[in-house]
Structure 1
């Protein structure tokens, strides 16, 4: 396709920083708002954007149990993941470390897929997971993760929620139109957060302009915009291609956090990031000398484990 020949590289270059920006904006937002309020505004803004998209595209509605499956996925991927991640950010966990830990979810998905989804798995994902875990340890042992105590467990729980939600999405929601899936999940997440609101004691509104800008970025750019790019790339390429881009997110987040958030980036942290990236590439079979043609996005072989199939 002549259009995608030049458009795909452009979208790929834009996709990585937009996806990584969610950790930066999340860190800023939790400085102005309580975590429940960050969630409410993220879900509300993203839902408004996706409702406009649904009005234009008119995707098919879920039928029968599909509604329930989408709701369960929302509780795992949206409520579970972001509640833990944002609470960790608010408790002092650096954005770079949070991104690195959540960046291991694709490998964990690959490791669990043959057990839960009856899909064959080679040795590469197992080796990649172990290498990536070593990278997380190196980063955690340096200044980037020092002195966090219990708070470092929060992004780990967020990563587990992301993994569980991804597996559930792959198992039950594969045939649901993307826009429909996003709308239902955002609506479910918003309702669940509002129901719990009386018990959370959080303030509604950001305390300054920076808070509004942060939640606006999370809702429009990170929740909606980054996923528009992701879905276009999945249509024109494959999940393997998108997986390769997701491997770059942890390092991008850590580098951007230096000037934006003032987070330290020590040589030890850089080494840990490099090790984790190697582990992710190994786990996804993207080693030099083992190149293979990118599969068609509609091919079952292209839908290999390793890419979260729902929005972040």
Structure 2
């Protein structure tokens, strides 16, 4: 289908820099505001954007347990991930190192997918994920010896929350309309943040225009925009496909941090980006010779007459 030939590549090209921008904007925002306030405005702005989209598109509402599944995903993918990531950034963890650690999530997602989603990876995605993880490490390996101490645990927990949230979203929310999914998750995240905010004793409002611009970017571009793209890609492709794209985020963050945060660009970053690109190419099953199944990670069963039919779980994956 001609539309699908350009749609997925176009969404993928947009997704990587939008997702990577969150680390840079998050570093800037935590310089103006404390973490709970950054989360609060991220969710307020993203919810406003998505409610406007829902008013125009009028997507179907969740049914039954779908509400609960969306709430659980919000606590993992939104509140959990970004609470830890922003806490790490505020504690001095560099944006690049945070991206490096979060870049380990694709490997965990890829390795856990066969166990939790009944999707066979084959050889190519496993090799691609390992190559991509190697590229992630090469980009920012020097930062691992930066003496950050205990603060490095924040992005580690953020990575675990991202892994769990991605798998949960794919398993339980794949049939919920994308706009509905993001609206409910942002609303849940905002309620959770508001519930604890009065007890934290932090300032509500960004003190300067720079703070407003940073949280505005996080809410509109990195939250509403990037998560809509993520959920669309999870629906049209597999967790392995999205994981392969996420392999590019650390190198993209390192490149973007040069003009924005003034972080130096090293040959290591360029080498790591090249390795991650190779990992994505291999992981998507486009390596010459066709190692294993394609990007959807299709698992088949043999029906009557020897025909090979996708299972119900495969259709969800």
The TM-score normalised by the length of structure 2 is 0.81
Is contact 1:97-1:145 (8 Å) kept?
no
Is contact 2:20-2:253 (8 Å) kept?
yes
Is contact 2:110-2:129 (8 Å) kept?
no
- Indicate the residue corresponding to 1:45 in structure 2: 45
Give runs of aligned pairs for residues 35-184 of structure 1, distance below 5 A: 35-139=35-139, 141-143=141-143, 146-184=146-184
Mapped partners of 2:170, 2:229: distance in 1: 20
Give runs of aligned pairs for residues 215-294 of structure 1, distance below 5 A: 215-229=215-229, 238-239=237-238, 245-290=245-290
Is contact 2:73-2:168 (8 Å) kept?
yes
Is contact 1:97-1:139 (8 Å) kept?
no
Mapped partners of 2:120, 2:8: distance in 1: 30
* Number of aligned residues: 303
Give the stretch that moved more between structures: 262-271 or 210-219: 262-271
Q: 1:273 to 1:173 in 2, by over 3 A?
A: same
Mapped partners of 1:58, 1:190: distance in 2: 21
* 1:115 CA displacement: 1.7
Q: 1:152 to 1:285 in 2, by over 3 A?
A: farther
The TM-score normalised by the length of structure 1 is 0.82
Is contact 1:144-1:264 (8 Å) kept?
no
Mapped partners of 2:188, 2:57: distance in 1: 21
Q: 1:59 to 1:195 in 2, by over 3 A?
A: same
Is contact 2:139-2:268 (8 Å) kept?
yes
Is contact 1:95-1:253 (8 Å) kept?
yes
Is contact 2:129-2:279 (8 Å) kept?
yes
* 1:37 CA displacement: 0.5
Q: 1:289 to 1:265 in 2, by over 3 A?
A: farther
* 1:204 CA displacement: 0.7
Q: 1:234 to 1:111 in 2, by over 3 A?
A: closer
* RMSD (Å) for aligned C-alpha atoms: 3.3
Q: Secondary structure at the match of 1:142?
A: helix
Is contact 2:132-2:247 (8 Å) kept?
no
Give the stretch that moved more between structures: 118-127 or 201-210: 118-127
Q: 1:3 to 1:136 in 2, by over 3 A?
A: closer
* 1:226 CA displacement: 3.2
* 1:287 CA displacement: 3.0
Q: Give the number of the structure whose alpha-carbon radius of gyration is greater.
A: 2
* 1:260 CA displacement: 0.5
Q: 1:14 to 1:70 in 2, by over 3 A?
A: closer
* 1:44 CA displacement: 0.6
Is contact 2:257-2:263 (8 Å) kept?
yes
* 1:205 CA displacement: 1.1
* 1:7 CA displacement: 7.0
Mapped partners of 1:140, 1:294: distance in 2: 27
Q: 1:300 to 1:14 in 2, by over 3 A?
A: same
* 1:17 CA displacement: 2.1
* 1:54 CA displacement: 0.9
